[in-house]
Amino acid sequence: MIEAVRWSADGRGVRIIDQRALPGEYIERDLRTLDEVCDAIATLAVRGAPAIGVAGAMGLVASLDASTGLDASAFSGRLTANAARIRATRPTAVNLPWAIDRMLARAAGVRGTPLEILAALRDEATRILEEDRAMCRRIGEHGVGLLAPGARVLTHCNAGALATAGMGTALAPVYVAAERGAQVSVFADETRPLLQGSRLTAWELARAGIPVTVLTDGMAASLMHRGSIDLCIVGADRIAANGDFANKIGTYALAIVARHHGVPFYVAAPTSTIDTAVADGDAIVIEQRNADEVRRSFGHLIAPEEAAIYNPAFDVTPGELVTAFITDRGVVLPPYDFAAWGTHEA
């Protein structure tokens, strides 16, 4: 299994797979400064809600590595400022602020030198990394029972190993099924405008030897009409208390099409993606991305410069369209009421 985010060889940086280069090139980069960490998250070199939470926590540690010579007050100020900047890089996925807040809480509990505080932060970031790997495995184990032999799974965007520190969320049941010798196949929406489905999901599945077919986003309805899809599994970047959830733009349309054709529609996500402080989807902040992601396809102009561009990174799907949530705690059936789970409870 690939490792999208981990400690660098010397333990002082964050090693990522630069997902901007895939599938053409496989490039690993070490993030060692605050600027490098923030740029990698903002430009989608590392992406996926769980992965950016892990990278944010580890990146906070890396960004403070050269600051242990400061006095206690100055180090505390640097910690607070770096955490705030990392936290603000992407607004929709809840895992990033969840991880940063957890790091700050750990630091607040340490009465010691900057070196001792940094050691505690490194330990906490490693815990977040290891918990994410274990979380992915539990999602896979809980969700694999939903895949009948020969299941044809449709997914949107990338919620696999590249989006987490482990085997993924939406693809975790697929990987577990493959481990057990089950014959399953995946249909991956291309996922415009940045093609995370065709560039990333198809790349990692093909690398793992799992049959994968790429389709453009507008083709999913035709496949369902033909009876060629057995179930949909997608990831999530933030789940509201009532089950409404944000995921990559195009997810809402896919859920509507699945409901129309009677195809089960599942959402796979860790507990850390549930934001019980948000009552419903209307309160989820949707990130607006640069217009050139739509106007230009990887450097090539495909829309007039004069045309206005609408480019939200995510949309919100009502919980009423979700057949069930596959979480690290188990499969959750409707009606959904995550308020009792506790805000960002791990």
128 lies in the same domain as 178: no
Question: Residue 47 maps to which CATH number?
Answer: 1.20.120.420
Last residue of a domain, one of 137, 170, 188: 137
Residues 100, 119: one domain? yes
Q: Among residues 115, 137, 159, which one ends one of the domains?
A: 137
**Do 265 and 161 belong to one domain?**
yes
| Catalytic (active site) residue 237 | yes
Query: Could you read off the pLDDT of 312-334 as tens digits, one per residue?
Result: 999 999 999 999 999 999 999 99
**Which of 237, 275, 315, 328 is an active site residue?**
237
Domain that holds residue 12: 5-137
109-138 residue pLDDT tens:
999 999 999 999 999 999 999 999 999 999
Domain count, the chain: 2
Together in a domain, 60 and 196: no
**Residue 336 covered by a domain:** yes
Are 57 and 152 in the same domain? Answer: no
Per-residue confidence band for 343, with pLDDT thresholds at 50, 70 and 90: very low
Assess whether pLDDT exceeds 70 at residue 47: yes
Is the domain of 99 the same as that of 199?
Answer: no
Domain assignment present for residue 346? The answer is: no
- Whether residue 95 is contained in a domain is answered as yes
For residues 163 and 231, state if they share a domain: yes
Rounded (5°) CA angle 195-198-202: 145
Q: Which of 137, 162, 197 is the last residue of a domain?
A: 137
* CATH number where 249 lies: 3.40.50.10470
Model confidence pLDDT, tens digit, residues 286-317: 999 999 999 998 889 999 999 999 999 999 99
Per-residue pLDDT, averaged over 77-81, amounts to 98
At residue 342, the pLDDT reads 55
Instruction: Judge if 32 and 63 occupy the same domain.
Output: yes
Same domain, 287 and 271: yes
Residue 344: pLDDT over 60: no
pLDDT at 177 over 60: yes
Q: Same domain for 96 and 145?
A: no
Do 211 and 189 have their domain in common?
yes
* Tens digit of each residue's pLDDT (9 = 90 or more) over 189-199: 999 999 999 99
